[in-house]
Amino acid sequence: MLNKRKFKESVERNIRVNFLKTIKTASGQERYHAVVKTLMEEVVTHWQETNERHHNKKKACYFSAEFLMGRAFGNNLLNLGIYEEVKEVLNELEIDIDEVEKAEADAGLGNGGLGRLAACFLESCATMNLPVTGYGIRYHDGIFKQRFVDGFQVEEGDPWLAHGEPWSFRRSEDAVTVVFGDESVKAVPYDTPIIGYGNQTINTLRLWQGEPLINFDFNLFNEQRYDESVKEKNRAEDISRVLYPNDSKEEGKILRLKQQYFFVSASLQDLVKKYKETNGNEFEKFHQYHAIQLNDTHPVVAIPELMRILTDEEGLCWEKAWGITTKTFSYTNHTILTEALEKWDVKLYQKMLPRVYEIVKGIDEQFIEFLNEKSYEKKKIDQMKIISNGRINKAWLAIYGSHTINGVAEIHTNILKHKELKDWYELYPQKFQNKTNGITPRRWLALCNQELSALITALLNTEDWITDLSQLKKLEKHQYDDEVLKRFMAIKRTKKKQLAAYIFKKEGIQIDPNSIYNIQIKRLHEYKRQLLNAFHILDLYYELKENPDIQRTLRTFIFGAKAAPGYVRAKGIIKYINEVAKLVNNDPQMKDQMKVAFVENYNVSYGEKLFPAADLSEQISTVGKEASGTGNMKFMLNGSPTIGTNDGANIEIVQEAGEENNFIFGMKIEELQAMEDTYEPRAYYESVPGLKRVVDTLIDGTFDDGDTGMFQELYDSLLEGASWHKPDNYYLLKDFDDYREAQRKAEIAYADEIAWARKCWMNIANAGKFSSDRTITEYAKQIWHI
Ligand SMILES: *Cc1c(COP(=O)(O)O)cnc(C)c1O
């Protein structure tokens, strides 16, 4: 229970002592800061208690280069159980809670799904009262802000800390020194509370910031050599300056390698230091107190780094250290895209981290010896050894140095076992596990769709579903209750209207809540096939132009996606979709037929408005390429059927919710593998009705790419291929017709309102499996043993 009087006093006091103002005169930013400071007074007690409760217990550490947290304010109020009360108090103070929420910048310390997964996981761990700490980097700039200028993506910085960041504490006393070959930097941790839902557990996200050991060189300054005097400071601060804006592609940049070692070394030093304070030098038990999860290969340098600390600094022998290390680490694989499998350049590592490199070499030699003992053929050994062709294979190091490797959906884990990591699965079958991803139902339903949450709570007569999502199954019995379905449709309409208002305000595009909202929001990548979506829209456009009298259901196609700044083809696709949007939206004849809206700067907060308002969830990746997806789960939980391929977690979504309640099209993985080598995209281009017409708009002057050659290049990628891939590498032309058919089916199904609502409802009722609480329970029991 909130003490209202105390709360008000504290807000007023915080505004006074921090800003020398009153509530009336304070800005939105200042009010936000004062309210958060007030909340922190409540939080700190439980935070300390949780730390004490978890002290001297085994804990899990989630090492991740990305945490895509979004805003904390609403979620923290919800989880503290004081959302309504705080809203009331603020109201009494004449402060609008929405204004306070908006003042917070998104913590965009991640690119997409992988970083958002880390954020959902931390929230679930706290909600389940599990001792888990997140470790990462306090990037000064998060993922870039995206704008469109003449339909082209333009990137801007994201200085999310510019107005201060009231949730975190700087913990100077825990600062450590990270040593590189040619420099040393200070790593200073900032701790952010991760608040569990309704249980007073508050875990920690610890993010490291790079700082110089000495702030500036006084002598150089005195000699008026100003630039040089701050050189070391700049170099150190560069390490945590910016998140690399890339998704599913390796970045062989020195600074990125530095970032990885920086946060990993700082975190391990921190863990070892704390361990010694209670356990002294008895490192044999280190793994009994720590389970470290490596989120993808980004933090995999942790394996040789722990070896270095245990042998060089703590004096353990190699064998003992290796035993501890392999009992400590586990590794999550997130992708099979070859361009994403990171490799380190040996030369770079020798220069930057000479000692760590020697240890990697030692690990590799030990591994080769092990394979020799198993009588592996030389050819096999060459394929599996960790260092080869002047590069360190990070995935191999991760597998050898971990006790458990997991994929993130059934299909993905199977591809790992039987294809991508086949040799490794044969060597270590017992190491492989599946952990299908999940999302937190707090942010992705209870917070972002309060209307639907209230309906669910009313029907189930309890709020228990919020922490036990499998209870949604009990909603199935309402599937033939038209009253319930109508209430659901009314809520969907409310969310669609809210989104329409927001999109109009932000983008200046008017969309009609009576239309079908088709939404595809995710990073821009060829394998995710936003271009296929665009081709279908254009095909529909031409069909409507040719047959102006046919009555179709009004449709709105919504996109949200950032392209990595160096990914030229992805940027070409953005420009193309914006051109399609311009054509469609400026055609008066389309007014009552269709609309296209590509929203700028898709991020977590935008997602919270988009997912609840969707009628159709677009999940159309090339089969085998989307490891899991989590956006698909957010749509499902908010009651939108999926139009999608047999890929990633779509397969499990349909298993749960029923094929009849979704629109699945295209090949199964086996079918794709069977036709891979003989695929002729041109045959489809020539023969599928309407396909040539839309593909040719890339080159026939229908659209203008501002003389960049981007559209010609896209055309060539589909029909000619490029040095690094065969034509239509992602099977757009193959799947076009099936996709169009599925779209048609969805549109027809939508016309029967009650039948449609039932499909939506069945998706909600069967979304229980996709709670990250379920995923985390599996990690805790089967990998971390906490
Ligand atoms: C959930 C989420 C993602 C992941 O979406 P996918 O469709 O699974 O790729 C990416 N970005 C944001 C902001 C998200 O919330």
Q: Is residue 33 part of a domain?
A: no
- What average pLDDT does range 455-473 have in this prediction? 98
- Alpha helix segments (H runs only) across 290-403: 302-308, 318-328, 346-352, 354-373, 378-384, 394-401
Per the DSSP assignment, residues forming a β-bridge with 294 are 63, 331
Residues 529 and 420 in one domain: no
Q: What is the pLDDT of residues 544-591, one digit of tens each?
A: 999 988 888 999 999 999 999 999 999 999 999 999 999 999 999 999
Q: Are 613 and 499 in contact (CB under 8 A)?
A: yes
pLDDT for the residue numbered 163 = 93
- Residue 634 CA, closest ligand 1 atom number: 1
Residues 649 and 580 in one domain: yes
pLDDT for the residue numbered 414 = 97
- What average pLDDT does range 623-634 have in this prediction? 98
Q: Are 611 and 635 in contact (CB under 8 A)?
A: yes
219 has a pLDDT exceeding 80: no
Query: Residue of the nearest CA to atom 9 in ligand 1?
Result: 522
Provide residues with CB under 6 Å of ligand 1.
112-113, 116, 522-523, 603-604, 607, 629-631, 634
- What average pLDDT does range 163-182 have in this prediction? 96
Residues 419 and 462 in one domain: no
Distance CA 337, CA 621 (A): 13
Residues 620 and 687 in one domain: yes
Residues 556 and 573 in one domain: yes
Q: Is residue 148 part of a domain?
A: yes
Instruction: Please give the residue range of the domain that contains residue 589.
Output: 441-770
Q: Which of 604, 610, 616 to mutate to test the pocket of ligand 1 (most atoms within 8 A of CB)?
A: 604
pLDDT for the residue numbered 224 = 78
CA of 301 relative to ligand 1 center, distance in Å: 27
Q: How confident is the model at residue 233 (pLDDT cuts 50, 70, 90)?
A: confident
Q: How confident is the model at residue 764 (pLDDT cuts 50, 70, 90)?
A: very high
More confident residue, 234 or 74: 74
Query: Residue of the nearest CA to atom 7 in ligand 1?
Result: 631
pLDDT for the residue numbered 250 = 76
Residues 446 and 433 in one domain: no
pLDDT for the residue numbered 674 = 95
Q: How confident is the model at residue 248 (pLDDT cuts 50, 70, 90)?
A: confident
Residue 101: burial class (beta carbons within 10 Å; 0-12, 13-18, 19+): middle
Q: What is the pLDDT of residues 670-725, one digit of tens each?
A: 999 999 999 999 999 999 999 999 999 999 999 999 999 999 999 999 999 999 99
Tell me the CATH number at 374: 3.40.50.2000
pLDDT for the residue numbered 2 = 86
156 has a pLDDT exceeding 80: yes
Query: Residue of the nearest CA to atom 11 in ligand 1?
Result: 112
pLDDT for the residue numbered 1 = 73
Structure tokens at 101: 């929420």
Q: Is residue 625 part of a domain?
A: yes
Query: Residue of the nearest CA to atom 8 in ligand 1?
Result: 629
Q: Is residue 647 part of a domain?
A: yes
pLDDT for the residue numbered 42 = 87
Cα dihedral 488, 489, 492, 494, rounded to 10, equals -100
Per the DSSP assignment, residues forming a β-bridge with 135 are 63, 206
Q: Considering its fold, how many domains does the chain have in total?
A: 2
Residues 482 and 361 in one domain: no
To the nearest whole percent, how much of the chain has pLDDT over 90? 93
pLDDT for the residue numbered 452 = 98
pLDDT for the residue numbered 366 = 98
Other C-beta atoms lying within 10 Å of the C-beta of residue 591: 12
- What average pLDDT does range 532-552 have in this prediction? 94
Q: Is residue 78 part of a domain?
A: no
Q: How confident is the model at residue 252 (pLDDT cuts 50, 70, 90)?
A: confident
Q: Is residue 13 part of a domain?
A: no
Q: How confident is the model at residue 342 (pLDDT cuts 50, 70, 90)?
A: confident
pLDDT for the residue numbered 261 = 98
Question: Is the four-CA dihedral 716, 722, 727, 733 of positive or negative sign?
Answer: negative
Distance CA 5, CA 2 (A): 9
Residues 547 and 416 in one domain: no
CA of 116 relative to ligand 1 center, distance in Å: 7
Q: How confident is the model at residue 643 (pLDDT cuts 50, 70, 90)?
A: very high
Distance CA 259, CA 209 (A): 10
Residues 483 and 389 in one domain: no
Q: Is residue 175 part of a domain?
A: yes
- Residue 604 CA, closest ligand 1 atom number: 13
Q: Is residue 334 part of a domain?
A: yes
83 has a pLDDT exceeding 80: yes
Cα end-to-end distance, the chain, whole Å = 31
Q: Mind telling me the catalytic residues? A: 334, 522-523, 528, 630, 634
pLDDT for the residue numbered 534 = 98
pLDDT for the residue numbered 336 = 86
Residues 310 and 393 in one domain: yes
DSSP 468: -
- What average pLDDT does range 534-550 have in this prediction? 95
pLDDT for the residue numbered 225 = 77
pLDDT for the residue numbered 507 = 97
Residues 66 and 137 in one domain: yes
- What average pLDDT does range 374-395 have in this prediction? 96
Residues 385 and 482 in one domain: no
